Chain A
Amino acid sequence: GENVEQHPSTLSVQEGDSAVIKCTYSDSASNYFPWYKQELGKGPQLIIDIRSNVGEKKDQRIAVTLNKTAKHFSLHITETQPEDSAVYFCAALRSNDYKLSFGAGTTVTVRA
């Protein structure tokens, strides 16, 4: 099955700085890569996703990049704000599958 690794496990940044989280996947058949943000006591919320036919996608302060050859994808948050503090999960989904394979999560803390 698909194996997704996520780094770092924790990330502390100063408000206004950028945060980068990296994930690798093992199955070249994966073609959909969502990122979820989970705040304490809540369910994962989709923040951005990318499909394998594009290399980059941006939505305001959030961007995701995908390198299919190297089988890795990254989340970039610019101009971080305290409300960006949360646990972020990457995931991968194979083209013929329904179950998401998740990374272990990154706890992001934005220091004011």
Chain B
Amino acid sequence: GAGVSQSPSNKVTEKGKDVELRCDPISGHTALYWYRQSLGQGLEFLIYFQGNSAPDKSGLPSDRFSAERTGGSVSTLTIQRTQQEDSAVYLCASSLGGGPGETQYFGPGTRLLVL
């Protein structure tokens, strides 16, 4: 079946603007994860959803970052008042049941560039 999809694939924005990044998990997967991949920091965890709730938001770097998930499926990551250091690839992953130790499948990512 279809894998994790993300949109847009690329986004260029100006410093100070808000951006929304979208993730469609694999059908039937109840757990969804956001990670950020940047040159200096590697792959970092941002937030985890089980269904529509987010029991772990520990990786969100500041209060400019927020995420929601509706209907137990699509998730949106919002970055307000973007800064140049937000430039990175934002990756979404999903897993079947959300239990600890489950295999996570990644989408292609959204490449964000803040000018």
Contact = CB atoms under 8 A, between A and B. Distances in A.
B103 A99 contact: no
B56 A46 contact: no
Interface in B95-112: 98, 100-101, 103-109
A105 B37 CA distance: 11
A97 B100 contact: yes
Nearest to A93: B101
A90 to B, nearest CB: 11
Contacts of A91: 43
B106 A98 contact: no
A36 to B, nearest CB: 7
A94 B4 CA distance: 24
Interface residues of A, number: 27
Contacts of A43: 4, 6, 91, 106-109
Contact of A95 (B43, B101, B108): B101
B108 A42 contact: yes
Nearest to A102: B43
Contacts, number: 57
Contact of A31 (B4, B42, B101): B101
Interface string B42-86: 110100100000001011000000000000000000000000000
A34 to B, nearest CB: 7
A46 B31 contact: no
Nearest to A89: B43
Interface string A24-52: 00000001101010000111111001010
B113 to A, nearest CB: 14
14 contacts: A31-B101, A41-B108, A42-B109, A43-B108, A44-B43, A46-B106, A98-B98, A99-B56, A99-B59, A100-B33, A100-B104, A102-B42, A104-B42, A105-B42
Given A42-B108, A99-B33, 15 more contacts: A32-B101, A43-B4, A43-B107, A44-B91, A44-B106, A46-B106, A93-B100, A93-B101, A96-B100, A99-B48, A99-B56, A99-B58, A100-B43, A100-B104, A105-B42
Interface of A: 31-32, 34, 36, 41-46, 49, 51, 89, 91, 93-105
